[in-house]
Structure 1
Amino acid sequence: MSSRFAQIAFTPGVQRHQLAHGSDRAYRRMTEGARGADRLGADERLFIGERDSFYLATVGETGWPYIQHRGGPPGFLRVLDEHTLGFADFRGNRQYITRGNLDHDDRVSLFLMDYVNKGRLKLFGRARVVEDDPDLIGRLAVDGYPGKVERAVLIDVEGFDWNCSQHIPELYPRDLVERALGSARDRIAALERENARLRGRQAVT
């Protein structure tokens, strides 16, 4: 966990519970580092670039949190530089809850999951909606993807945290499973043919 992530997440209320439950010593030093925004490194770039979805949390005017699942081709969430993420906002159900929430509060939290390798990356940031920059929107669009792009969203990353793999279910994409099963079926069919051929030779002798 980075110092900046801890400084944001470990509010006084959180720290009171850490003290009460005996974890304050382990976490206290994490809040004592630099207060500048975290820099996305090579590991973060690679992980983010491989994701085909993420969860995005915003807060509405009533104070209620809202979590939305955003999906697209792998790599649709781009690392633009060491502090900035960007993605093309494809048209969905047109409720515009996230869009409206960002007019009120630009703070966001992202959850990126890798269920195959049981990895998880959490980020805090501030989001900016860009609707009047065709060049930027074009650069963030994904070639060949049929989704209609309504706008671009840029996120200035404040802090991030890599979580442990405990309790993350090990899940595999359907296409990966189907390819594996297809190979297994082909191998079984080949073995059955070979078995039938050998049985035929045995019957002749």
Structure 2
Amino acid sequence: MAQTFLHTMFGPGSRALQEEAGSRASYARMEAGAGEVDVLTDREVEFILARDSFYMASVSEAGWPYIQHRGGPVGFLKRIEGNRIGFADYRGNMQYLSTANLAADDRVSLFLMDYPNRRRLKLIGHAYTSDDPADIAALVVPDYRAVPERAFLIDIVGFDWNCPQHITPRFTEAEIEKGAQPLLEELARLRARIEELEGNIHGR
């Protein structure tokens, strides 16, 4: 249960609105017993390692939220140990917005989406960057043709699974091809059978 996530994210304002809406008692039970962190289980780790993209929000020095999309091969987001995850930061547009934001405020929020199965995982944590070659090497994806500049390391504090309501299923080209493969094979068999029957008819 995401006890620490809820305890951390709920403030006086949201708790007051929950009281007005009649949902506070239920959420209070969910918050009860919150520790220092929500410990990642095999379920969360498996989900994290299967992603090929995610969204990460940080806060600018001016107090504005900034959301960045990160993507790569499946498994580019890695579990390092315990509640620490990370990814290699490859050279891109060189705006360095997220990198600069973390220097002032290390808090981040991540959205990880599984559109085909209508699942999403929210993560909150403290992030920092590292130029240590060992940290970067541990996160580089083999055969990925891009130049790594630094490592992004995130110590997860809390997480929460969301219900599938309003998540529109979306599929990658590879997933569509995989789903259509049985139909294409059946179509090929039918075509072969038709050609065989036509051959028999003309051969009479």
Q: TM-score, normalised by structure 2?
A: 0.93
Matched, 1:50 2:29: no
Distance in 2, Cα, partners of 1:107 & 1:57: 9
Is 1:136 matched with 2:132? no
CA shift, 1:49, in A, is 0.8
What is aligned with 2:95? 95
1:185 aligns with 184
Counterpart Cα distance in 2 of 1:16 and 1:92 = 43
The aligned counterpart of 1:145 is 144
Matches of 1:16 and 1:46, distance apart in 2: 36
**What is the letter of the counterpart of residue 73 of structure 1?**
P
State which drifts further: 194-203 or 92-101: 194-203
Amino acid at match of 1:172: F
Structure 1: gaps (5+ residues): none
Alignment of 1:1-205 (within 5 A): 1-131=1-131, 133-202=132-201, 204-205=203-204
Residues of 1 paired with 2:168 and 2:33: CA distance? Answer: 33
Q: Distance in 1 between matches of 2:141 and 2:203?
A: 61
Q: Which moved more, 1:192-201 or 1:83-92?
A: 192-201
Unaligned runs of 5+ in 2: none
Shift of 1:183: 4.8
Deviations 1:8-53 (A, max 9, x none): 1111111111112121111012222133112111111111111111
Q: CA deviation at 1:141?
A: 0.5
Distance 1:82 1:117 in 2: 26
State the alpha-carbon separation in 1 of the partners of residues 61 and 113 from structure 2: 28
Residue 60 of structure 1, CA deviation: 0.5
| Superposed CA offset, 1:41-92 (max 9, x none) | 1111111111111110001111111110101111111111222111111122
Are 1:58 and 1:67, in contact at CA under 8 Å, matched by a contact in 2?
yes
Distance 1:29 1:186 in 2: 52
CA-CA distance at 1:203 after TM superposition = 5.0
* Matches of 1:178 and 1:92, distance apart in 2: 30
Question: Which deviates the most, 43-52 or 189-198?
Answer: 189-198
Separation in 2, partners of 1:30, 1:89: 36
After TM superposition, the structure 1 stretch with the greater mean CA deviation from structure 2, 120-129 or 29-38, is 29-38
For residue 128 of structure 1, report the CA deviation from its aligned partner: 1.0
1:138 maps to amino acid: A
Deviation at 1:178, TM superposition (A): 2.5
Please tell me whether the aligned partners of residues 41 and 82 of structure 1 are also in contact (alpha carbons under 8 angstroms): no
2:108 counterpart letter in structure 1: V
TM-score, normalization: structure 1? Answer: 0.93
Cα pair 1:52 1:74 within 8 Å, conserved? yes
Q: In structure 2, the residue corresponding to 1:194 is in which secondary structure?
A: helix
User: What do you get for the CA RMSD once the two structures are aligned?
Assistant: 1.6
Q: Secondary structure at the match of 1:36?
A: coil
Percent sequence identity over matched residues? 47
